[in-house]
Each structure stands twice: as structure tokens, then as C-alpha cells.
Structure 1
Amino acid sequence: MTRWILVFLLSALAVGVSVAQVAPESPPGRIIAHSAASTQIFLGSPSLAVLPDGTYIVSHDTFGPGSKEDQVSLFASRDKGVTWKSLGQVSGQYWSSIFVARGALYLFGTDRSMGTPVIRRSDNGGATWTTPLDTSTGRFPMPGRYVTAPVPVLVDHGRIWRSFEIAEGGDLREVVMSAPVDADLLDTTAWSSTTHLRSDRRWLNGDFLSWEEGNMVSTGQALPSVVMRVNSRQGQEKAALVSLNAGADALSFDPARDFVDMPGGGKKFTIRFDARTKLYWSLTNAVLQNNGHENLERVRNTLALISSPDLRHWTIRRVLMEHSDRQKHGFQYVDWQIEGNDIIAVIRMAFDDAQGGAQSQHNSNYISFMRFPDFRQTLMQRPAPAPG
């Protein structure tokens, strides 16, 4: 566990050096992209896929006053994440998950200018992409404004699954879309979607604000479930477990039993199942010390490795990164994959740079790649203390 800024300040004071004269710390990991805060272009929505030949592909978008907010940038690494090469940009694409199906690469998110889901395919490793012009080429005829993030795309029960939220009536309502694994994924008629599941501000004794950025996760026997990030006013961070009905055309949620305590559940997370340990794993912004007065949704300065046997009971296994400053440092929106004994991850990061650092912990200035080796060894160690 590292606390860069505290060590830096104490060292500077001890030798009588002005803080302004000391060079900023280098951000952790292999830097894929950087944008100075002065540009008002902030880096978001990282997503990671691994091609059949072992090439890593990363996508991200941008947000903020200087951004078009409707474009995805792509990068490739052919040396296990050591170096990265730009593959260019795709316009008319936002909040996108990148994934591999039957050897092809896909981007599945929204066209933010129109608010509708769109999906694209690349048959050459991300060098060129199809254009979603109509229902046969990846543009969904779904009215409304859809909201999402680079959430996991799951293959389960012979289908490909992805979650979205739709803004309706002042509410973010959950929707799950799926298609047969052998379908033409650009043919939108191959996809089906559930009815829209609404939320209720009266939940959690009136502290519930919204849910979003749902993870499709396999449950083994039944159809997949959705694990959703929960935004709330106060209290221990939680996630929401949403179920699919047998026909996969409707969703259900019981607020009396389906809110679960999850360290970091108030910020975006990715959950994946590991067949070797038979555990669900995630990298989250767990809040290790909660003074009861902070906005926990913006506490993103700690990255913790957590696991669960059942999606309901979560344990912090290891604190991977921590910074003592919560205002301008964050390790957030982590997307990741299991590769052998390691976790490979791409992180939306707010950290120091030579231009004065990030504008805030939310308005991130880096996209960084990191490898966390031997993650399963945490099962042989004493779990980290629960947040509180």
C-alpha cells in the first residue's frame, strides 16, 4: 500500500525544500493516454479486450467542456502492455464496451448525440470499423436516451448479454439486451431486450439516489444476474442484485433482500468469475476510512481487490493502490481480465503531472495499464479489514 503524497510532503519538509520545487511523482503503470487539465478534456470509460493472437486492445472516450463527448480512442499493445500504439478514433461512439466474439472485435455503447445503442465490428484488430447506419449495420431502433459505461459483455447460456440504463421520468431504469452467440451481432433484429426496470427514491430509508452501470454475471444454474452500482446519500456502500425472469424479457428486484454490502459499490466496477477459485472478483474504490461526512461516490483514491462466493458477501483481499489525497487522485472505472495467474487492468486515473495534476479525482487526466501478478495468492493471506 502506498501513500505517495504524504511521503512526498514529509520528505520535502524534512530537507527544507519548497514543495513547488519538487517534481511531481510519476503515475503508476504504463501510460496509454494523457490529457492536461488545462485542456478541459478529461479521459474516461476505459475498456480492455484481448485478441486471439494475444494483442491487448484498449478503448476510452473523453468528457468535459473541451471534449466532443461522442468519440472513442483505440490503442493496441503487442508486448503484453509494455508499449502502446494508437489505432485512431471512432466518431459517433461513446460509453463503449470492447469485446471479442468469434474472433472479431466489437465496440458496443451509444451514439451520444442521438442517445441510442450502437454496435460496430472490426475484422482487422481495430484498424477499421463498420459504420452503424441502420438496423442491419448496428444502429438499434430504440427511442429514448440510453446511459451506460464500459460494462462487461457476458457470454452465457448460448447468448451474449449486456446491460444499459435508460433515462425515463427522472429515473435511470435498467435494461438488459442479448443475442444468440452465433448471430450476426450487427443485425439488431437478432437482439432482444427486457422491459425497463424502474428504481425508487424511497429505497434505503430514502437515501437511495440511483443505480447504473450494471454488470452481467453468470450465476451457474439460472440465467445471468445484473449487479448494479448504487448511488446513495450515506451509509455503507452497496450494490443491487437484479434478476432475469425465465423468458429473459423482464427484470425483478426485491429491495428487502437484494441490496448487498459491497466495498466500493457506489462507484463503477467490473465483476468477473474465476473458475479456478470459484469466486467472483472485482477491483473497486473501497472506502477504508469513512468519517460519515464525505460524498463516498467521489472517494476514489483507493483500489482494492475484492472477492465473493455468491455476489452477496464480499471480502477485501488486498489494497492494490492508495493515495492519501482524495481530492485530486483517483484509480477508477477499472476494466480488467484474468490472464493466467495475473490480472491485467486499464484504469481511468487522476494523478500528478508536470502541468499541475488532475482537476479533481473525477476529472481524470490519465489512462493507465497495470498488471497485478498472482492475484489468487490473496486467498492465502489474511483478508484486509472491512471498510468503516
Structure 2
Amino acid sequence: MELRKRNISNPSIMILDDGSYFAGSSGPNPKGNTYFRSTDKGRTWERLSNPDYMNFCKCFTRPSDRHTLYEVGISAAKRGNIVIRKSEDRGRSWSALTTLFKGDYHGAPTPYVEYEKRIWHAMGTSPETGKMGIAVLSIAQDADPMRKENWTLTNVLEGGPNSWFAGSGVTHDTQRSFNQWQEGCIVPDPEGRLTIVTRIDESSWSDVAALIRVVDEHTITFDPATDFIDMPGGGKKFTIHYDGQSRKYWTLVNPCYDEDRRQVHSGWYRNRINPLFLRSRLVLCSSPDLRKWTVEKEVISSNNSFFHGFQYVDWVFDGDDIIAVSRTAFPETRGLPNRQHDANFLTFHRIPNFRNAGFETIRICCDQL
């Protein structure tokens, strides 16, 4: 593979019913997701399959059958139909695609949640004109996912004006510019209500997200007066999970450091670097309530904001550890990636003893390979 011919995107990871790790992304092959499996805790990986094209994919299983994998995604590169297929042999072979909903949809490899006998997943819309929207896809746990009539999609919440931020209480609320929201992550809140924590594409400051409430399988709501939150890395895609042992929510994010905001160079970023593209710091954060987030520790930290990116990280708990996959942009023997956004690696990471930050930060200097 020649550098820059294809970019890595949409990494995802899960632990299968037999204890093996199952990871995938688009980019290793010309079309579709490529899936890999590890039976030795991530030390070595076997390439399993490269099924036909689907984008923004992530797999889930049902409580009654943890062996069968279902993969939901979008039928085209930027926007398309919501589609599904299944694998009955842990990802080695796949069924044909079934279309669930036709339209201009978008998505991301964010978690599926089992809640009140349904399986829930945040989706998005991507109209050719206008701002991206948020919706929720769900199905009864005992229903056949391959039958489109078994699925429900909520109303779509579209993005709003910049005036939404005024009086919201988030930092720099009067200086923010709301572009759109996207790539939501669904999770039960401390009161047991389903909430979508969604990324805000905000070009002035970033580090802000939104909480969208799931009323039922048909309805989601948002209040701009109360439901914007300050969140490190809230402007880039993230995965959130709740940990019952610590009674906290955890995430891996790309926050914006002031020293990085000021960086410039003669290429794309000769004026300044948009905070949306600050992705060279991967940081572990926690929250007791989804509203107040604490930076626990840097996992990877590089001051090269232009060509280093550890982004779109998907992850799961593995005992006292976190295992993760990253869409990684990093120099290599064939040269530089085009920029930090255009990842040339799919990388696997283990974060040991995450609850007490019992791991060493990997620190990388600007000229380090």
C-alpha cells in the first residue's frame, strides 16, 4: 500500500463471546471495513474479512445470542441509507446487505446500549445542504435485526443557530459559532434515562458537547438553555462507557491545549489551526454525571499538532484495563501523512489500571518518528 492512497477511518473494537478481540476499520482495503481478530490479548492479529462496502460501521450482539454479529452502517461514503448485515462465524463471512431506512444518513462507531429490553444506537443525518442532525435507532432485544420492520428511528434533531450558546453557561458562550453536531454516543445517565452525548462541531473554541434526551423509541429532545456542557475533546468523536466499580463515566478524548491553538505553519494552517483538528493529545477523562468532566491523565501527548493524530478512538473495558483502537496519523518510513486528520495507521492500545491512572504517558516530540 502506498502512503496517502487510502486513509484509515472509523476504527471499532469489541470483545467477542469467546474472549477474543475483534477490531475493524475502513482503509486497509480499497472498499468496505476490514476486520481483525486477536486471541492473545492484542499481541498478534489475524485479518478475518473485508466485506462489501459499508461506512461508519460498528457491530453488536443480542443478549440471547452473543455469537452472531450484526453490523450497522451507511451505504455510501458521505451519506446514504442505513444498512445491516450479519456474521454467524465471528466475522469471517457476512450476509448480503439489508436496507433499514433510506435517506441521507450518517453515523460513527459509537456504542450500542441494551436498555429496557431494547438495543439503542445513536445515528445522524447528513443532508447535502444544511446542518447535520441526530437521531436514535433501536430494536427490541428479542426481534430479528435483519427484518427492517423491527427497527424504529426517532425524530431527527437538526443543528441550530449561534444564538443557542448565549446564556448556556459554557465557557466563552458568547464567542462560539455552532456549525453542527454529529457522531453521538448513547449512554444511560445517573438517573437511568438514556442520553446522547454528542460532539459539537464548533470552530472558535471547541471542547463543548451537548446532552440530548431520549424520551422513548420515537422521540428525542434538546434544551439549548441547559444541555450544552463543557467537555474536553467535545469537538471530536468520542466513545463513553459507564464503569460500575468506580461509579464514573469514562472516555478517551482529544482536548484543545492553548499552546496548540497558537501553532501555525505554511500549509493549511498558515493563519491558525482550527480546534476541530487538534488531535495530537489523547487524554483519559471521567465524569460522575456526564456534565462535569475531569482530566485524569494523558495517554499519548505530542506537540506536533499538524502531522500527529490519535483520534476517533473506540474502546471497551477489559477488567482493570481499557483496550482501544485509534485512527492514527504518524510519520513513517514512506513519509508524512498529509495532515493529522488523514490517518495512515490503525493502532491498538492497552491502558492498564485506568481507574488509578496506573500507566505511563507516552510523550512524543515534534521531530520524533
1:200 lines up with 2:178 in the alignment: no
Query: 95, 101, 114: which is aligned to 2:56?
Result: 95
**2:120 aligned residue:** 161
Q: Between the two structures, name the one with larger relative contact order (CA 8 Å, sep ≥ 6).
A: 1
Normalised by the size of structure 1, how large is the TM-score?
A: 0.82
Query: 146, 149, 159: which is aligned to 2:108?
Result: 149
Q: Give SS of 1:80's match.
A: coil
1:234 lines up with 2:204 in the alignment: yes
Shift of 1:304: 0.2
Shift of 1:149: 1.3
**2:304 aligned residue:** 325
Query: 303, 309, 328: which is aligned to 2:282?
Result: 303
Q: Once the two structures are superposed, what CA deviation does each residue of 1:170-221 show, in whole Å capped at 9, x if it has no partner?
A: 1211110101111111111111111111111323356010100000101254
What does 1:231-380 correspond to in 2, within 5 Å?
231-245=201-215, 247-290=216-259, 291=261, 293-378=272-357
1:173 lines up with 2:133 in the alignment: yes
- Retained in 1: the 8 A contact 2:206–2:256? no
- Retained in 1: the 8 A contact 2:283–2:299? yes
1:188 lines up with 2:148 in the alignment: yes
Aligned residues: 335
What does 1:36-51 correspond to in 2, within 5 Å?
36-38=2-4, 40-51=5-16
The separation in 1 between residues aligned to 2:251 and 2:322, in whole angstroms, is 10
- Retained in 2: the 8 A contact 1:49–1:100? no
**1:74 aligned residue:** 35
Q: Which amino acid aligns with 2:182?
A: E
Runs of 4+ in 1 over 6 A off after TM superposition: none
Which segments of 5 or more consecutive residues in structure 2 lack a partner in the other structure? 166-173, 263-271, 359-369
Normalised by the size of structure 2, how large is the TM-score?
A: 0.86
The separation in 1 between residues aligned to 2:180 and 2:294, in whole angstroms, is 24
Q: Which amino acid aligns with 1:369?
A: F
Shift of 1:359: 1.5
The separation in 2 between residues aligned to 1:187 and 1:242, in whole angstroms, is 28
Structure 1 residues 270 and 284, CA, compared in 2 at 3 Å: closer, same or farther? Answer: same
- Retained in 2: the 8 A contact 1:37–1:359? no
The separation in 2 between residues aligned to 1:37 and 1:313, in whole angstroms, is 40
The separation in 2 between residues aligned to 1:116 and 1:56, in whole angstroms, is 29
Deviates more, 1:332-341 or 1:202-211: 202-211
Q: Which amino acid aligns with 2:16?
A: L
Q: Which amino acid aligns with 1:170?
A: G
What does 1:19-30 correspond to in 2, within 5 Å?
none
The separation in 2 between residues aligned to 1:220 and 1:108, in whole angstroms, is 28
- Retained in 1: the 8 A contact 2:286–2:296? yes
The separation in 2 between residues aligned to 1:85 and 1:254, in whole angstroms, is 46
Deviates more, 1:165-174 or 1:298-307: 165-174
1:57 lines up with 2:36 in the alignment: no
- Retained in 2: the 8 A contact 1:157–1:223? no
Q: Which amino acid aligns with 1:255?
A: P
Shift of 1:143: 2.8
Let me know the Cα RMSD of the aligned residues. Answer: 2.1
- Retained in 2: the 8 A contact 1:59–1:98? no
The separation in 2 between residues aligned to 1:254 and 1:44, in whole angstroms, is 32
Which segments of 5 or more consecutive residues in structure 1 lack a partner in the other structure? 1-34, 133-137, 380-388
Q: Give SS of 2:96's match.
A: coil
Larger radius of gyration: 1
Query: 89, 106, 111: which is aligned to 2:70?
Result: 106
- Retained in 2: the 8 A contact 1:163–1:174? yes
The separation in 2 between residues aligned to 1:236 and 1:87, in whole angstroms, is 38
Q: Give SS of 1:267's match.
A: coil
**1:86 aligned residue:** 47
Shift of 1:288: 2.8
- Retained in 2: the 8 A contact 1:228–1:239? yes
The separation in 2 between residues aligned to 1:152 and 1:341, in whole angstroms, is 20
Q: Give SS of 2:224's match.
A: coil
Q: Give SS of 1:376's match.
A: helix
Deviates more, 1:216-225 or 1:251-260: 216-225
The separation in 2 between residues aligned to 1:79 and 1:233, in whole angstroms, is 42
Q: Percent identity?
A: 34
**1:386 aligned residue:** none
Q: Give SS of 1:287's match.
A: coil
- Retained in 2: the 8 A contact 1:300–1:330? yes
The separation in 1 between residues aligned to 2:306 and 2:53, in whole angstroms, is 32
Q: Which amino acid aligns with 1:366?
A: F
The separation in 1 between residues aligned to 2:337 and 2:203, in whole angstroms, is 25
Q: Once the two structures are superposed, what CA deviation does each residue of 1:148-179 show, in whole Å capped at 9, x if it has no partner?
A: 11111111121100111112451211110101
The separation in 2 between residues aligned to 1:366 and 1:99, in whole angstroms, is 24
